[in-house]
């Protein structure tokens, strides 16, 4: 899968299905396709329903980032199991990635890992300023079908079901 981001569509991304990150990976964010009792936990932002996750903070490990983001965006950071299923490689050669958000130390090429996450506690709801809502959904629910992350959700769900 490929796509572009940004006001000027100047940030390219490619998604790679993989259980390993590149040796030279510079991780800028973590994403967790999270499951509770067979349902998918999603968060709602101004972009719509999506996989919870977000940017790493200074000094934070990737595991700490994922736990914090899941807590903020769906209200659950208790992770029973976590398995990498792929990553987005993000490239912006014209400016620093996310430079407009005050993250000037990000390199022009970053990696965003996507993990399948089994939650150990029921999500209690979003508690982040940029999250409008969160919820648990069946794979067939309209929130899942209409998500801009739909292809990644379906891919991760198929991997989970077939593992």
What pLDDT score was predicted for residue 94? 65
Q: Tell me, what's the pLDDT at 99?
A: 45
Distance CA 48, CA 91 (A): 23
CB 114 within 8 A of CB 154: no
Percent of the chain with pLDDT over 90: 67
d(CA 91, CA 109): 5
| Superfamily, domain 2-161 | Nucleoside Triphosphate Pyrophosphohydrolase (3.90.79.10)
Question: In this predicted structure, what is the pLDDT of residue 146?
Answer: 97
| Dist. CA 18–CA 14, nearest whole Å | 12
Cβ-based neighbour number of residue 35 at 10 Å:
19
> Which residues of the chain fall short of a pLDDT of 50?
97-100
pLDDT confidence of residue 128? 85
Q: How far is residue 102's CA from residue 96's CA, in Å, rounded to a whole number?
A: 10
pLDDT of residue 8: 62
User: Cβ distance 14 to 114 under 8 Å?
Assistant: no
The DSSP 8-state label assigned to residue 99 in this structure reads: G
């Amino acid at each position: 899968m490929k796509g572009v981001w940004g006001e000027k569509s100047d940030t390219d991304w490619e998604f790679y299905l993989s259980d390993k990150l590149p040796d030279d990976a510079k991780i800028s964010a973590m994403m967790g396709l999270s499951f509770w009792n067979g349902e998918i936990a999603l968060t709602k932002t101004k972009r719509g329903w999506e996989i919870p996750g977000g940017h790493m903070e200074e000094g934070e490990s990737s595991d700490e980032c994922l736990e914090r983001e899941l807590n903020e965006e769906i209200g659950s950071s208790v992770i029973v199991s976590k398995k990498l299923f792929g990553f987005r490689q993000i490239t912006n050669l014209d400016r620093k990635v996310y430079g407009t958000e005050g993250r000037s130390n990000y390199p022009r090429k970053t990696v965003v890992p996507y993990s399948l996450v089994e939650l150990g506690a029921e999500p209690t709801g979003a508690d982040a300023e940029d999250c409008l809502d969160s919820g648990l959904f069946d794979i067939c629910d309209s929130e899942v079908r209409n998500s801009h992350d739909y292809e990644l959700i379906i891919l991760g769900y198929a991997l989970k079901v077939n593992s």
